[in-house]
Chain A
Amino acid sequence: MNAQGKAFKYGANVDTDVIIPARYLNTADPTELAAHCMEDIDKSFVERVKPGDMIVAGPNFGCGSSREHAPVAIKASGVSCVIAPSFARIFYRNAINMGLAIMECPEAAEAINDGDELVVDFDSGVIKNLTSGSSYQAEPFPEFIKKIIEADGLVGYISKK
């Protein structure tokens, strides 16, 4: 399982209020949510993001509110993977349940620049930066988490079982 796309780089402690502001939580529709993804820290994200692109950010990504609408909005905007040194725990859990791939890799998160072209191999945990030529090793997902992501989330995984 691989993903390829451009990096959108952000800082530390990206909270779920900026990922999807609460003023839009009167809907749970993924497409409507995606239209406002990252709006309060990057107004142009929604216009620029293409399927496969990745978010690369600082520590504690997804902190704050438990809203599952946050990983839903990111995934529905086309993002294939979020790379950060660490994730807030509720976001981590929600992302896996929603089938949004996330990778903890401090070296990659620090070295990758905005706009770099990346390839991620979820089986091996290798993150390749095609722009700089560097590659980084993240902890690959355990088998059951890989299956959840392949099944498009926990519900799909349970239904398959």
Chain B
Amino acid sequence: MSMTMTQKILAAHAGLEQVNPGQLIEAKLDLVLGNDVTTPPAIKVFEETGAADVFDKSKVALVPDHFTPNKDIKSAEHCAMMRTFAKRFDIDNYYEQGEAEMGIEHVVLPENGLVMPGYAIIGADSHTCTYGALGAFATGVGSTDLACAMAAGQTWFRVPEAINFKLSGQLKPGVTGKDLILHIIGMIGVDGALYQSMEFTGSGVANLPMSDRLTICNMAIEAGGKNGIFPVDQITLDYLKVFAPERYERGDYTVFSADEDASYIRTIEIDLASVPLTVAFPHLPENAKAIGTFGRVDIDQVVIGSCTNGRMEDMRLAADYLKGRKVSKGLRLIVIPGSQRVYRECLREGLIEIFVDAGAVVSAPTCGPCLGGHMGILAAGERCVATTNRNFVGRMGHPKSEVYLAGVPVACASAVKGYVAGPDELL
């Protein structure tokens, strides 16, 4: 029987010729990830299991990024616990604040060359699905699964069915991968891909740069998906040459592709040129509306950053729109480069100066405001346009605040205008 790309990766990691949707399998893992929120409970469980060591210290990544730089004493205690654990087991991929490789987990793992095509990856963070952009199988789990995986190097999965998103054409200028994924979630709903893979195929894939693919896969979870995945092509290999040169040279990756007759539970065809600039209204990512189809929504804050849109391409795009402009009087713009590498490159290219001149505050890499942790919490009644991934009740602060999800161009235009706006309004 034929298999999808995800099914092939799972079969290979389970040591099976063939897997079928619904089948429960045990699969070996190439990378296991935790952050400062999910790792402390996992450490407790890890100790309860009685494991003497982690399965492979080079295949565990621990990234303190959610409440860091430590926002309060309790967060500091959690980070200290994680740091002690990382030292005790000599974890290779533990990143301290300020280190060159540090930043938001889903920005730094691909940048540090830890994610390769064909890998099977779990992370105790729901946005672990980001890594499907590189042709890996990657999915989010909880702390207990993280603990058991750190001990055993394997975990169990239910083999998912898949939806085939067959892409053609090219996005219109100013429209980004973020608009595409918000558009898709608007089409299928926040449980539209529940338990399923979202596999992106078709001739349009070649027109999506890696930064867009990472953004798209990042939000597969917002449609309920188990994972999102892109085929491996020249764009993937070019990315690896830059960010994972050693593993690339060693050939430490496997290119899996879906069988031509792979079976999908449904196929959704999308002409990329038809995707509008899209905003997800509160309080669900599925409340997608095209720019121009709603009335004036005044806003108090704009956040540009996060594991969804905190990459170098996002920063360059933001600088393009903000250069020579000022944020609307009274509006707060927070720009968060996703990693120290991105931050340094922003400095080198003069982007930080552009942001500050426009009236933005620029923060150290952190997940902070996205999850209502710190660095930009909203008061009751306040509204924020954010390039983040969730707009649930209370996500960025007070339960009576509102988050509007958008791509970088809409976020910048909104910051300048003071209301939810498309980039055309800047002309």
Interface residues, chain A, CB within 8 Å of chain B? Answer: 13, 15, 17-18, 21-23, 25-28, 40-41, 59-60, 63-69, 71-72, 86, 88-90, 93-94, 97-98, 153-155, 158-159
Contact = CB atoms under 8 A, between A and B. Distances in A.
A131 to B, nearest CB: 29
13 contacts: A21-B394, A26-B78, A27-B74, A28-B78, A59-B191, A60-B190, A64-B390, A68-B124, A72-B41, A86-B191, A89-B195, A89-B224, A93-B142
Contacts of B393: 15, 17-18, 40-41
A153 B45 CA distance: 11
A66 B222 CA distance: 12
Contacts of B373: 22-23, 25
B394 A67 contact: no
Given A18-B392, A18-B393, A64-B390, A90 B284 contact: no
Contacts of A63: 190-191, 224
Contacts of A69: 37, 41
Most buried by B among A28, A72, A98: A28
Nearest to B371: A22
Nearest to A94: B142
A66 B38 contact: yes
Contact of B142 (A25, A27, A68, A159): A68
Nearest to B374: A23
A18 B399 CA distance: 9
Given A22-B373, A60-B194, A63-B224, A68 B41 contact: yes
Contacts of A154: 144, 148
Contact of B144 (A18, A89, A155): A155
Contacts of A27: 74
A153 B195 contact: no
B75 interface: yes
B71 interface: yes
Contacts, number: 122
A58 B238 CA distance: 45
B211 interface: no
Q: Interface majority SS on B: helix, strand, loop or mixed? A: loop
B144 A97 contact: yes
Nearest to A65: B126
B24 to A, nearest CB: 10
Interface residues of B, number: 43
Given A60-B190, A154-B148, 12 more contacts: A17-B392, A25-B37, A26-B74, A63-B191, A64-B126, A65-B390, A66-B124, A66-B125, A66-B128, A90-B126, A98-B142, A155-B144
A89 to B, nearest CB: 5
Given A66-B141, A90-B140, A97-B145, A26 B372 contact: no
B351 to A, nearest CB: 29
Nearest to A32: B74
Contacts of B49: 155, 158-159
Nearest to B81: A28
Interface in B110-153: 124-126, 128, 140-145, 148
A41 B392 CA distance: 11
Interface in B361-411: 371-373, 390, 392-395, 399
B226 interface: yes
B172 interface: no
B141 to A, nearest CB: 6
Contacts of B72: 26
Interface in B27-71: 37-38, 40-41, 44-45, 48-49, 66-67, 71
Given A26-B78, A88-B224, A67 B38 contact: yes
Contacts of B392: 15, 17-18, 64
Given A21-B372, A26-B72, A41-B393, A60 B143 contact: no
A69 B41 CA distance: 9
Contacts of A25: 37, 66-67, 371, 373
Contacts of B128: 66
Contacts of A18: 392-394
A68 B141 CA distance: 9
B145 A93 contact: yes
Given A13-B284, A15-B392, A66 B191 contact: no
A98 B38 CA distance: 14
B191 A88 contact: yes
B188 to A, nearest CB: 12
Instruction: For the complex of A and B, list the 5 residue pairs with the smallest distance between their C-beta atoms, beginning with the closest.
Output: A68-B142, A94-B142, A26-B74, A60-B191, A66-B126
Contacts of A159: 48-49
